[in-house]
Chain A
């Protein structure tokens, strides 16, 4: 039966995602211990950078991609109420991704690919690392095709009807990912792979950085959209209310898709190979893309308020107390939004063109993205897992109380770890350094903050282990139920055509991408550039 196929596919993807997550948290713990400099027997730059590279790849590429694919298959089948299109293709894509991860894992774990998850040339990794990463991306394209085909087929079969919101957003994400991954795919196929295979001797580093920046910004929206889907489609219902505005939700997804793409140069503010005018242009877009997030915050909070008031909450803030805090989805949403508010302030500093100089590549940056990515985004992934596991396995969640403890732990640990991390950045600590003494008074002031990070990291690790344990127990020992819960909230009333498809938006993206990346890429073929050869590390 097809339902069983989708469930299996989803579970298989989710287990890779959360397996990677659990494992990577151990690497993270090692890193906070090592970098504190308190444990001399742990100290080793070789181990540290192999670890950070592995941790970064597992968290940023493996956890996210597999989670998004699994969630997408589930969302498509459920919200469209039709069988999965072409399951063999979906399994093939899964296989390609798994092989890719395995190929990349070997050099990573052997310390032959300690180039971090951004793998900036001219430092060169073992060729299997690039090959594996490329396969992971190629496999994810299978998923994109399946999502877009199912979206198109549904619309073809039901002319004039509005695609359910969760699928609208999932299709937007598939399209976003095709555009996003094109940058790094070009870098990989035309630059990294030929160079790592020894077919070319030199590599144009400016071009490589520009192509990578193309991917590096919108990829965060690829990660974020599933979290927003949960916020829009699961949270209002879980809180006992309904979505405040369907139109606003669709608008937010379209804005993310269109504005998220042409703005990658905020990662290159401090780079010499792009001119100030181009950086300025991307800066304006970077601020503009805050709008859909501000809209999301508003809509989700408004939906929660409606739910809280319906449950009897009164007064300006009474509705907050009246919310079902003991529902993991609702709790996760509240904690996730809190971290989004905190992280949003940091984001404004990062985005600010020249102020960026104060924080660029300092510890502030990992502090910021742990808060907003490992915090805001991943918290929603965890809540989605708690909601879907019972449906996927036909068993009740092993313990709701433990799930609540786990979510609180993740939030508290994240705040304890990232607050000092931000301060370290302001105190000038560079990111990506292992235990270090610069023989300068400055570095002495770093120590107490490193200690606090260890405390936060320990709570996070415990919380992550509890999470994986709960999933495992639910699947193997949860009480059997015939749980077929409702599909996520969907709204079938007529949204206008431009909020029900992507033809127009796709063309607009093309125009914006040509405008914002056309000359900046072309210039490397016009300038007299000197490409360096490969370096080890």
Chain B
């Protein structure tokens, strides 16, 4: 058993390693608990084959929703399908909490607005829900980042973030600009 005597230096390094790992995990725990920072994990199922018949994802219900949610957030509903996120263009206000709800009508897709934390996988059979706030107005692409077929390269839609003061609530769901 004498073999198990660990060298002094090794013990120090082990403590440093453990402290480092503890620090990283600790930082994540703190943000997760105190600010509710979690990855999108909404275990909610839906029948991808009949989205067009569903209450929520029928064609005329898509896009930025006219009535804000109880907490003032705006809800945006999108259907991902080869090869675009529908509706292809949406406008949202800057600085406001946006709740994206997305479903796929065919295969796997991924939605990402570069340089923001708006990112989620879209898995057929499930509704993905992800929340983001866009501080800066401008035009952003929403890119598909999961291989979904030979047109994957060209799967993208446009998100325009509009300054608070220029923002008008849409009158109806769907049919954006």
Contacts and interface: CB of A to CB of B under 8 A. Distances in A.
Interface of A: 45-46, 49, 114, 116, 120, 122-123, 204-206, 209, 244-248, 268-276, 279-280, 283-284, 287-288, 290-291, 294-295, 298-299, 302, 348, 352-354, 356-358, 360-362, 426-436, 438, 440, 442, 493-496, 523, 527-533, 535-537
Given A46-B150, A537-B149, 15 more contacts: A248-B10, A270-B119, A271-B121, A271-B123, A272-B40, A272-B127, A291-B17, A295-B17, A353-B28, A354-B32, A354-B117, A358-B119, A360-B145, A436-B154, A529-B125
A111 B123 CA distance: 24
Contacts, number: 210
Which of B40, B43, B49, B151 neighbours the largest number of chain A CB atoms within 10 Å of its CB? B43
23 contacts: A120-B146, A204-B125, A248-B10, A269-B39, A272-B41, A272-B44, A272-B120, A272-B126, A283-B25, A287-B25, A294-B13, A353-B32, A354-B32, A354-B37, A354-B117, A430-B110, A432-B146, A433-B153, A438-B154, A440-B156, A494-B3, A527-B43, A530-B48
Contacts of B18: 291
Interface in B45-61: 45-49
B153 to A, nearest CB: 4
Given A45-B150, A302-B9, A279 B41 contact: yes
A530 B125 CA distance: 5
A352 B24 contact: yes
B24 A123 contact: no
Given A270-B121, A272-B41, A432 B147 contact: yes
A430 B38 contact: no
Given A49-B147, A438-B143, A530-B47, A353 B126 contact: no
Contacts of B150: 45-46, 49, 114, 537
A284 B25 contact: yes
Contacts of B43: 272-275, 523, 527
Interface string B19-47: 01100110010011000011111111111
A356 B41 contact: no
Contacts of A295: 13-14, 17
Nearest to A114: B150
Interface string B150-170: 111110100000000000000
Contacts of A276: 38-39, 41
Contact of B153 (A45, A114, A270, A288): A45
Interface residues of B, number: 67
B119 A357 contact: yes
Given A273-B126, A275-B41, A535-B149, A496 B1 contact: yes
Interface of B: 1, 3-4, 6-7, 9-10, 13-14, 17-18, 20-21, 24-25, 28, 31-32, 37-49, 106-108, 110, 112-115, 117-129, 139, 141, 143-154, 156
**What DSSP secondary structure best describes chain A's contact surface?**
loop
A272 B145 contact: no
Given A272-B40, A535-B106, A360 B112 contact: yes
Nearest to A354: B37
A468 B128 CA distance: 47
A517 to B, nearest CB: 15
Given A354-B31, A440-B141, A272 B148 contact: no
Given A532-B124, A536-B149, A428 B14 contact: no
Contact of B21 (A245, A268, A290, A528): A290
B174 to A, nearest CB: 22
A354 B28 contact: yes
Given A280-B32, A353-B28, A535-B106, A361 B145 contact: yes
Given A116-B147, A248-B6, A353-B28, A272 B153 contact: no
Contacts of A496: 1, 3-4
A533 B151 CA distance: 19
B128 A272 contact: yes
Contacts of A532: 48-49, 106-107, 124-125
Contacts of A298: 10, 13, 17
A537 to B, nearest CB: 4
Given A205-B125, A354-B31, A530-B48, A361 B146 contact: yes
A248 to B, nearest CB: 6
Please name the 9 residue pairs, one residue from A and one from B, whose CB atoms are nearest each other, closest first.
A428-B114, A430-B145, A361-B145, A276-B41, A537-B149, A530-B47, A357-B119, A272-B126, A294-B17
Which of A357, A427, A440 neighbours the largest number of chain B CB atoms within 10 Å of its CB? A357
Nearest to A491: B3
